[in-house]
Amino acid sequence: MMLIVAALAIFLLSSFFSLVLSSGYGKSNSFNSAMSILGAFTGLTGAACGIWSGGKFLPLTHKFWAHYLYLDYLSHFFLFVVFLTILFVSVYSIDYLKPYREKKSLSFFWFNFHMLSFSMCAVLLSKNAALFILFWELMAFSSYFLVMTDHKAGHVRHAGFIYLCANGIGALFLIAAFSFISDSSYSFVQTFSHSSLAFFLALAGFGLKAGFIPLHVWLPEAHPAAPGNVSALMSAAMIKMGIYGIFRALSILSPWHSSWGWTMLAIGGLSALLGLIMSLGQKEIKKVLAYSSVENIGIIMIGLGLAVLLFSLKLNELSMAAFCAVLFHVFNHSLFKSLLFMGAGSVLHAAHSGKMDELGGLAGKMPVSASAFLIGSAAAAGLPFLNGFAGEFVIYYAAFSSLQYAETSFSIFAILFLSLAGALGAASFSKMFSAVFQGRPKMKTDRKIEDPGFYMKSAMIFLSSSCLFAGLLPYFSFNFLFSGFNQGFSESRTMLDLSKILLLMSVVYAFSVFLFIILYIARKRIFSKALVSHSVTWDCGYSSEVPRAQYTGSSFSQLLTDFFGKVAGRPGACRSVNGYFPSNFSYAASSRAFFYETLYLPAAEKIKAAALRFSFIQSGNLRLYVFYIFIALAALIIWKI
């Protein structure tokens, strides 16, 4: 615990430094990153101890602390994820921010970066509604300024505005929810007997941060606008604060209703499927990644819904398993999503473009980034051998195990959502990887494209090896993370079964790798005797290769986007081909933000129109405003009497 407090102090201190010493150390990347790494490492150690002991290893049991701070397993788990992400992102930032240094002073950036780190941890610790909202808002504003780093571009300001609106509305919901779950000293206790209202308000408020459908609109706007390291931090750690909040609301509120579970299951399924369907139509790497975050939050919500529903049927062990699966996926997602955003950042760094239809063939030029991105993509598609699969497997396991009990039809929905999401995820990520890294470059460029600098590379290498390690040996990460989850559950049969299965899975992986090596050696021996040559790709004898004739990302996903219609993309505008030798032909297709365009934009227009009708109230006349104040005061006095 001391270590976590020390980490918070380091973050606060370095944000202070970066602002005060803005002409000296404050703007230095290496100084700020070093401080951030130091803080994250200190905190990581503390959080790891906390997870292991299930939040019981606490020298700080003084009443004062216990009254204001949550020091339980849940807080430590999320702190672990947050510190881990900050650690890798800080290493990555050293090189990533270099090009920015010539353009502007980075002291304000670093101030916000440290502030975001600080406020995320502080949110996880606060046991007091007022403190929680304070740090929550601090988190919102510091991340807003980070998103606005390139504020000179118009689209960045637009994205920033949407993000600000989402934050504001979310905070309103939260304040409303907290009025039901805090007492007169703002401590978290349920003070209102109708728990469902409080829960749904909290779900909406936290959902705006977590970004599930239909509250996800800010994600695909803010991520492409923000610098790569900021998107990594936001997507891997910050949106998880929303999930933490939902967990917290569940732990405060009782009794639970099965309608909560059904709602979360429906939201989760919708987010997982629509998130991927919309990602298929996107043309920019970071937008695809943002929609993939929506999908993963969806998977997490499916797990949460399943856990609540299983609990309502008194299947406690399976419900605990589903809760573990959710947390496991939170951890795994933070690893592979920060890796993917870092990969996208290196591509932007090198090629100065994130448009998939313009890129291609980068694997040969930037092998490290390509391998890291490949590992991240396979993990994000939930494929075995990587860590994305393990969490999903545990959700599947809980769902399938519950099938033998009565009234578990919800499990069927969970399974079908997950299986569809798995196949769609594979399609979406194979499209992105192949469009960016494989084949031949689709546009000519004079720029020399190469792997990024040492620190960026090492952050990606570390993260991809953690993804591989956690994927190949899920047993270890699972047991490390959940041995302190709940005393009763840790010794239960379900937990033992799960650890056994995860261990067996590693054995199968080992066998598969062994088989791979044997088959590889066999082929090598054949090749040592036979002739191996290189030639052009088979092209039906058509001799001139045109890179533009390749299948692009858009053409790869066209079958699926056409099938899913308007949600996935806008149908292409096509000029028809006439005659035997057509000369003019054009085809244009564009992606779209379905919910933003069809739901939020019209709604915003309507609200604006309605608001304009009342604009006479805001006349700009100072005397009139004083009059309003007078009326308000008078009304208050009358009301009090």
Partner 1 sequence: MENLRILFQILAMLALSPLLFGIINKVKAVFAGRQGRSVFKLYYDIYKLLNRGAVYSNSVTALFKIAPVAILSLTITAALIVPFGGQKGVISFPGDFIFFSYILAMSRFVLILSAMDTASSFEGMGASREAQFAVFSEPVFFMAMITLSKITGQISIYGIFSRLNPSLWVVNAPVLTLLVFSLFILMLCEAARVPFDDPETHLELTMIHEVMILDNSGPDLAYILYASSIKMWIFASFISSIILPRHSDIFWSDCLFYLAGIFLSAVAVAVTESVMARLRLLRVPHFLMAAFSVSVMAFVFQSFKG
Taking the complex as a whole, how short is the minimal distance between the CB of residue 255 and partner 1, in angstroms? 29
Taking the complex as a whole, how short is the minimal distance between the CB of residue 548 and partner 1, in angstroms? 10
**Residue 534 interacting with partner 1 (CB under 8 A):** yes
Which of 79, 432 has the CB closer to partner 1? 432
Cα gap 525→243, rounded to integer Å: 52
Question: Total residues contacting partner 1 (rule CB under 8 A)?
Answer: 78
Taking the complex as a whole, how short is the minimal distance between the CB of residue 261 and partner 1, in angstroms? 19
User: Of these, 381, 459, 470, 568, which contacts partner 1 (CB under 8 A)?
Assistant: 381
Cα gap 299→107, rounded to integer Å: 37
Q: Tokens 């978290």 — which residue?
A: 188
Residue among 32, 73, 29, 80 nearest 54 (CA): 73
**Residue 169 interacting with partner 1 (CB under 8 A):** no
Alpha helix ranges (H) inside 313-408:
316-351, 367-380, 387-402
Taking the complex as a whole, how short is the minimal distance between the CB of residue 396 and partner 1, in angstroms? 5
Strand 570-574 to strand 587-590: parallel, antiparallel, or no bridges (unpaired)? antiparallel
Binders of partner 1 among residues 317 to 376 (CB under 8 A) are 360-361, 363-364, 370, 374
Part of the chain binding partner 1 (CB under 8 A), chosen from 464-472, 473-481, 519-527, 611-619? 519-527
Phi, psi of 188, deg, nearest 5:
-80, 105
**Residue 184 interacting with partner 1 (CB under 8 A):** no
Taking the complex as a whole, how short is the minimal distance between the CB of residue 243 and partner 1, in angstroms? 23
Residue 122, judged by CB atoms within 10 A of its CB (0-12, 13-18, 19+), counts as buried
Which of 450, 497 has the CB closer to partner 1? 497
Taking the complex as a whole, how short is the minimal distance between the CB of residue 394 and partner 1, in angstroms? 9
- Residue type at 479 in one-letter notation: N
Cα gap 53→76, rounded to integer Å: 10
Taking the complex as a whole, how short is the minimal distance between the CB of residue 407 and partner 1, in angstroms? 11
User: Of these, 187, 438, 458, 490, which contacts partner 1 (CB under 8 A)?
Assistant: 438
Taking the complex as a whole, how short is the minimal distance between the CB of residue 497 and partner 1, in angstroms? 7
**Residue 508 interacting with partner 1 (CB under 8 A):** yes
**Residue 632 interacting with partner 1 (CB under 8 A):** no
Which residues, other chains included, contact 540 with Cβ-Cβ below 8 Å and sequence gap of 6+? Answer: none
Part of the chain binding partner 1 (CB under 8 A), chosen from 43-51, 333-341, 516-524, 583-591? 516-524
Two structure tokens written together for 363: 């694997």
Part of the chain binding partner 1 (CB under 8 A), chosen from 55-63, 259-267, 288-296, 525-533? 525-533
Around Cβ 380, how many Cβ atoms within 10 Å?
29
**Residue 131 interacting with partner 1 (CB under 8 A):** no
Residue among 423, 403, 425 nearest 412 (CA): 403
Which of 71, 436 has the CB closer to partner 1? 436
Which of 136, 475 has the CB closer to partner 1? 475
Part of the chain binding partner 1 (CB under 8 A), chosen from 32-40, 321-329, 500-508, 585-593? 500-508
Under 8 Å between Cβ of 478 and 328: yes
Binding string to partner 1 for residues 400 to 429, with x set by CB under 8 A, is what?
Answer: xx-xx-------x--xx--xx-xxx-xx--
Which of 531, 641 has the CB closer to partner 1? 531
User: Of these, 446, 530, 638, 640, which contacts partner 1 (CB under 8 A)?
Assistant: 530
Taking the complex as a whole, how short is the minimal distance between the CB of residue 562 and partner 1, in angstroms? 9
Residue among 182, 164, 158 nearest 248 (CA): 182
Under 8 Å between Cβ of 318 and 220: no
Taking the complex as a whole, how short is the minimal distance between the CB of residue 443 and partner 1, in angstroms? 14
Which of 504, 626 has the CB closer to partner 1? 504
Taking the complex as a whole, how short is the minimal distance between the CB of residue 217 and partner 1, in angstroms? 25
**Residue 378 interacting with partner 1 (CB under 8 A):** yes
573 pairs with which residues across the strands? 588
Binders of partner 1 among residues 226 to 255 (CB under 8 A) are none
Q: Please measure the distance between the N-terminal and C-terminal CA atoms of the chain and give it in whole angstroms.
A: 50
Distances (CA, A) of 21 to 25, 33, 137, 417, 587: 6, 15, 25, 52, 54
Binders of partner 1 among residues 562 to 601 (CB under 8 A) are 563
Binding string to partner 1 for residues 441 to 480, with x set by CB under 8 A, is what?
Answer: ----------------------------------------
Taking the complex as a whole, how short is the minimal distance between the CB of residue 397 and partner 1, in angstroms? 5
The DSSP result for 215-276, as a single string, is S-THHHHHHHHS-HHHHHHIIIIITHHHHHHHHHHHHH--S--HHHHHHHHHHHHHHHHHHH
Cα gap 345→88, rounded to integer Å: 14
Which of 71, 424 has the CB closer to partner 1? 424
Residue among 340, 329, 355, 370 nearest 92 (CA): 340
Q: Tokens 């980070």 — which residue?
A: 146
Part of the chain binding partner 1 (CB under 8 A), chosen from 64-72, 136-144, 455-463, 537-545? 537-545
**Residue 540 interacting with partner 1 (CB under 8 A):** yes
Taking the complex as a whole, how short is the minimal distance between the CB of residue 10 and partner 1, in angstroms? 41
The DSSP result for 115-182, as a single string, is HHHHHHHHHHHB-BHHHHHHHHHHHHHHHHHHHGGGTTSHHHHHHHHHHHHHHHHHHHHHHHHHTTSB
> Three-state secondary structure along 57-100?
CCCCCCHHHHHHECCCHHHHHHHHHHHHHHHHHHHHHHHHCHHH
**Residue 520 interacting with partner 1 (CB under 8 A):** yes
Binders of partner 1 among residues 44 to 73 (CB under 8 A) are none
Which of 384, 453 has the CB closer to partner 1? 384
Which of 528, 584 has the CB closer to partner 1? 528
Q: CA-based Rg of the chain, rounded to a whole angstrom?
A: 26
